[in-house]
Structure 1
Amino acid sequence: MYTLDIDKVHFLRDVWQKKPLLITQGFKDFVDPIAADELAGLACEEEISSRIVVTKDNDWEVIQGPFEDYDDRGETHWQLLVQAVNHWYPDSQPLVEAFRFLPDWRFDDLMASFATPLGGVGPHIDNYDVFIIQGEGERRWRVGDKGEHQRRNNDPMSPMVEDFEPIIDVVLKKGDVLYIPPGFPHSGETLTMAMSYSVGFRAPSQQELLTQVADSLIDSNGGQQRFTSIDEPANPGLLSQSQQQGIMALLAQLAQDPSSYQSMLGKMLSQNRFELDICEGEEPLNVEELQELLAEGASIARIGGLKVLQLEADSEPRLFINGEEFQVPGINQEHLSILSREVHLDTELAQQLCESAAVSELLVQLINQGLFFLGE
C-alpha cells in the first residue's frame, strides 16, 4: 500500500498546475513496485511501449523497443523507459491508487525507468503534469521557471530546450517525489543505478478537442446549422467582423449544448493512449454463472489502466469505458457512482450490486469483453 504524504487540499488549491513542488519522503519506506529485471522483461514484449535513451555529448539517441537483450548497452549513459507499466504489471496498481485524489480522466499512465549512471534526458518541457517518484538509487533533477525558453536548435517542434536557470536543484532519494506542471523546463541525470517512476496526467488540447468534435458530428450527422446574417458589407470582398464572430459562434453553440459534446467527451477521455492487457475468457459467462461464482467468494476487478467514467449531469444513464459508450437504463446513480469509482469490487460489494439485474448484465458484458476479470 502506498500513501502519498501531502496535504491534498493545500496541494490542489495552491500547487496543482501552478508551480513545481519537491515532496521530500513523499512515500515513507518506499518499496519499488517492480524490479529492474522485471522491467527489462516487459520491454521485450511487442505490445508494450518502451524505449532506450542513450546520453551522448550534448545529444541523445532514442531507440524504440521491443528489445531482445541489453548486453551491448554498457554500464553508463543510458536508461530504459517503459510506458503503461500499470497495464501489464498488477503489482504496480497500488502506486497509481495513491494519486487517485486527481480525476481518472486526466490520468495517462505509470512509466517506469531503469537508468545507469550519467543516463538521462536533457532539458525539455512537457505538456502534461508529472509526479516523479524516486525508487532505488539517486538522480539529480533540475527544474526551471515557466517562461520563454529557447527550443533546441531553434526547432519550434522540439520538446528540448536550451539550458535554464534552476529554481529547484535536488538529488532525489528513495521515496522522494517531484511534481512538475506543464510548461516548466526540467532535466534529470542519474548518479547511481536507479529506478524511478513517472505518474502522468494529461488534458486535451484545443486541436484534439476540435478533431474529436468534428469526428463525432460526422458520425452522428450533427452540426448541420449554418450561419445566417442580417446585413452584408458594402464591399463584396470584405468579411465583416460581426460575420466572423457570428460564424465562430456556431462552435460556441455546440459547446453550450450537452447533447452535442457529452458523448464525445466521455469516449475521448475514457480512451487510453497505450494498449491494454485485455483478458477475455475462453468461454463467455452468463448472469447465473456470475451469481454462482460470487456466492463461492469471487471478486471482480478492472484490468490495469482501464478508465470507467461517469459524466456529472449526464443527459442519459451511461458509463464510458475504454472509449466506448455503455448505455445502462435501469441502473441508479448510486450504482453508476460505485462502478466509476471502485477499481476492485470485493465479494460483498459485488453481490450487493448484482442484486440489480441491469448491473449484473453490465458486469457480465464487461467480463466477457476482457475489461473486467474475476478474482479469488
Structure 2
Amino acid sequence: MYKLNLDIAQFLKDYWQQKPVVIKGAFPHFEDPISADELAGLACEEEITSRIVVTQKDNWEVIQGPFEDYDNYGETHWQLLVQAVNHWYPDSQPLVEAFRFLPDWRFDDLMVSFATPNGGVGPHIDNYDVFIIQGEGQRRWTVGDNTPQQCRGGNPNSPLVEDFDPIIDMVLEKGDMLYIPPGFPHCGETLTLALSYSIGYRAPSQQELVSEVADYLLDKNLGQQRFTSASEPTNPGIISQDHQLGIMSLLSQLAQDPASYQVVLGKLLSQNRFELDICEGEEAYSIDDLQDAFEQGAGVNRIGGLKVLRLEKDAQSRLFINGEIYDLPNTPETMLAQLSDHVSFDCETALALCEHAEVQQLLLALINQGLYYLSDEEEA
C-alpha cells in the first residue's frame, strides 16, 4: 500500500497543470514495487513497449525493444524504459491507486525506468502531466520554465530541446516526487543506479477528437446536415465571413449535442494507448460457475490498466469499457458508480452485485473476455 504524503486540495489549486513542484518525502518508507531484474524481464516480451536510451556526447541514441540481454551497454550512460508496467505487473497497481484523486480517463500508464550512472533521455518537453517518483538510487532533475524552446541542434524533427535555464534543480532520493505539467522542459541525470516511476496523464488533442467524431459519424451514417444561408456575397470569388462562420457552426452544433458527443468521448477516453494483458480463460464460465466461485470466497479484479468509465448526465444508462459500450438500461446509478469507481470486489460485494441480473451478466461477459479475472479473497 502506498500512501501519498500530499495536501491534494492545495496541489490541485496551486500546481496541477500550472507549474512544476518537488515534494520531498512524498512516499515515506517507499519500497520499489518491481526490481531491476524483473523490469528487464518485462522488456524481453514482444508485446510490451520498451526502449533503451544511450547517452552519447551531445546526443542520445534510442533502441527499441524487446531486449534479450544488456551486456553490450556497459555499466554507465544508458537507461531502460518500460511502458505500461501496470498492465503486466500487478504488484505495481497499488502505486497507481495512490493517484486516483485524478480521474481515470486522464490516466495513461505507469512507465518504469532503470538507469545507470549518467544515463538519461536528454532535455525534452512532454505534452502530458507526469509525476516522477524516485525509487532506489538518486537522480538529479532540472526543469525549465514554460517558454518557447529551440529544438536540439536546430533539427525540427528532434524530440530534444536545447539546454535551458532551470527553475528547479534538485536531486531526488527514494520516496521523493517531481510533478511536471505539459510544456515545461526537463532533464534527468542519473547519479547512481536508479529506479524511477513515471505516472502519466493525457488529454485528447483536437486531432484525436476530430478523428473520433468523423469515425463515429461515418459508422452511424450521421452528420448529414449541410450549410444553408439567407444571403450571398456580391463577389463570386469570395467566401464571406458569414459563410465561413456558418459552415464551421455545423461542427459546433455537434459539440453541443450530447447525443453526438457522449458516445465519442466515452469510447475515446476509455481506450488505452498500450496493449492490455488480456487473461481470457481456456473455457468460458457460466452463471453457475461464477456464483459458485463467489460463494467459495473468490473476488473479482480488473486487469491492469483497464478503464471503466461512465458519463455524468449520460443520456443512457451504460458504461464505457476499453473503447466499447456496455448498455445497462435497468442498472441503478449507484451500481454503475460501484463498477466504475472500484477496481476490485471481494466475494460478498460480488455476490451483492450479482443479485442484479444485468450486472451479473456484465461481470460474466467481462470475465470471459479476459478483462476481469477471479482472484483469491485476499487479492480482491
Q: What one-letter code is carried by the residue in structure 2 that aligns with 1:318?
A: R
8 Å contact 1:50–1:65 — kept in the other structure?
yes
More deviation, 156-165/28-37: 156-165
In structure 1, what is the Cα distance between the partners aligned to 2:346 and 2:96? 19
In structure 1, what is the Cα distance between the partners aligned to 2:84 and 2:63? 18
Does residue 133 (structure 1) correspond to residue 111 (structure 2)? The answer is no
| DSSP-derived class of the 1:10 partner | helix
In structure 1, what is the Cα distance between the partners aligned to 2:327 and 2:287? 18
Deviations for 1:85-129, whole angstroms, at most 9, x for unmatched residues? 000000000000000000000000000000000000111100000
Aligned to 2:14: 14
Aligned to 1:325: 325
In structure 1, what is the Cα distance between the partners aligned to 2:298 and 2:188? 45
Aligned to 2:218: 218
- Give the Å deviation of 1:151: 1.6
Does residue 74 (structure 1) correspond to residue 80 (structure 2)? The answer is no
| DSSP-derived class of the 2:72 partner | coil
In structure 2, what is the Cα distance between the partners aligned to 1:77 and 1:180? 24
In structure 2, what is the Cα distance between the partners aligned to 1:104 and 1:20? 21
In structure 1, what is the Cα distance between the partners aligned to 2:159 and 2:226? 39
Unaligned runs of 5+ in 2: none
In structure 1, what is the Cα distance between the partners aligned to 2:283 and 2:120? 46
- Give the Å deviation of 1:155: 3.4
More deviation, 150-159/179-188: 150-159
Deviations for 1:211-258, whole angstroms, at most 9, x for unmatched residues? 111111101111110000111111000000011001000000000000
- Give the Å deviation of 1:201: 0.2
Aligned to 1:29: 29
Aligned to 1:247: 247
| DSSP-derived class of the 1:72 partner | helix
Structure 1's consecutive aligned runs of 4 or more residues displaced over 6 angstroms after TM superposition are none
Aligned to 2:94: 94
- Give the Å deviation of 1:287: 1.4
In structure 1, what is the Cα distance between the partners aligned to 2:156 and 2:213? 27
Structure-to-structure mapping, 1:148-163, within 5 angstroms: 148-163=148-163
8 Å contact 1:318–1:328 — kept in the other structure?
yes
Q: What one-letter code is carried by the residue in structure 2 that aligns with 1:2?
A: Y
Does residue 231 (structure 1) correspond to residue 239 (structure 2)? The answer is no
In structure 2, what is the Cα distance between the partners aligned to 1:155 and 1:217? 38
Q: What one-letter code is carried by the residue in structure 2 that aligns with 1:193?
A: L
8 Å contact 1:141–1:189 — kept in the other structure?
yes
In structure 2, what is the Cα distance between the partners aligned to 1:328 and 1:365? 13
Percent of aligned positions that are identical = 69
In structure 2, what is the Cα distance between the partners aligned to 1:240 and 1:72? 64
Structure-to-structure mapping, 1:72-221, within 5 angstroms: 72-221=72-221
Aligned to 2:56: 56
In structure 2, what is the Cα distance between the partners aligned to 1:3 and 1:255? 39
| DSSP-derived class of the 1:199 partner | strand
In structure 1, what is the Cα distance between the partners aligned to 2:343 and 2:159? 34
In structure 2, what is the Cα distance between the partners aligned to 1:322 and 1:284? 20
Unaligned runs of 5+ in 1: none
In structure 1, what is the Cα distance between the partners aligned to 2:344 and 2:121? 36
Aligned to 2:259: 259
In structure 2, what is the Cα distance between the partners aligned to 1:317 and 1:347? 25
| DSSP-derived class of the 2:71 partner | coil
8 Å contact 1:270–1:320 — kept in the other structure?
yes
8 Å contact 1:126–1:159 — kept in the other structure?
no
Deviations for 1:176-223, whole angstroms, at most 9, x for unmatched residues? 000000000000000000000100000001111111111111011111
Normalised by the length of structure 1, the TM-score is 0.99
Q: What one-letter code is carried by the residue in structure 2 that aligns with 1:144?
A: G
Aligned to 1:345: 345
- Give the Å deviation of 1:329: 1.8
In structure 1, what is the Cα distance between the partners aligned to 2:362 and 2:143? 46
In structure 2, what is the Cα distance between the partners aligned to 1:350 and 1:157? 51
In structure 2, what is the Cα distance between the partners aligned to 1:246 and 1:125? 37
Q: What one-letter code is carried by the residue in structure 2 that aligns with 1:269?
A: L
Q: What one-letter code is carried by the residue in structure 1 that aligns with 2:264?
A: M
In structure 2, what is the Cα distance between the partners aligned to 1:319 and 1:151? 42
Relative to structure 1, is the Cα distance of residues 28 and 270 closer, same or farther in structure 2, using a 3 angstrom cutoff? Answer: same
In structure 2, what is the Cα distance between the partners aligned to 1:364 and 1:21? 44
Q: What one-letter code is carried by the residue in structure 2 that aligns with 1:257?
A: D
More deviation, 148-157/6-15: 148-157
8 Å contact 1:79–1:113 — kept in the other structure?
yes
Q: Give the number of aligned pairs.
A: 376
Aligned to 1:334: 334
In structure 1, what is the Cα distance between the partners aligned to 2:277 and 2:121? 29
- Give the Å deviation of 1:312: 0.6
Normalised by the length of structure 2, the TM-score is 0.98
Deviations for 1:274-331, whole angstroms, at most 9, x for unmatched residues? 0000000111111122111111101000000000000111111111111111111211
In structure 2, what is the Cα distance between the partners aligned to 1:159 and 1:245? 36
In structure 1, what is the Cα distance between the partners aligned to 2:183 and 2:330? 45
Q: What is the RMSD computed on CA atoms of the aligned residues?
A: 0.7
Does residue 47 (structure 1) correspond to residue 47 (structure 2)? The answer is yes
- Give the Å deviation of 1:158: 3.3
| DSSP-derived class of the 2:73 partner | coil
Structure-to-structure mapping, 1:351-366, within 5 angstroms: 351-366=351-366
| DSSP-derived class of the 2:283 partner | coil
Q: What one-letter code is carried by the residue in structure 1 that aligns with 2:216?
A: S
More deviation, 244-253/324-333: 324-333
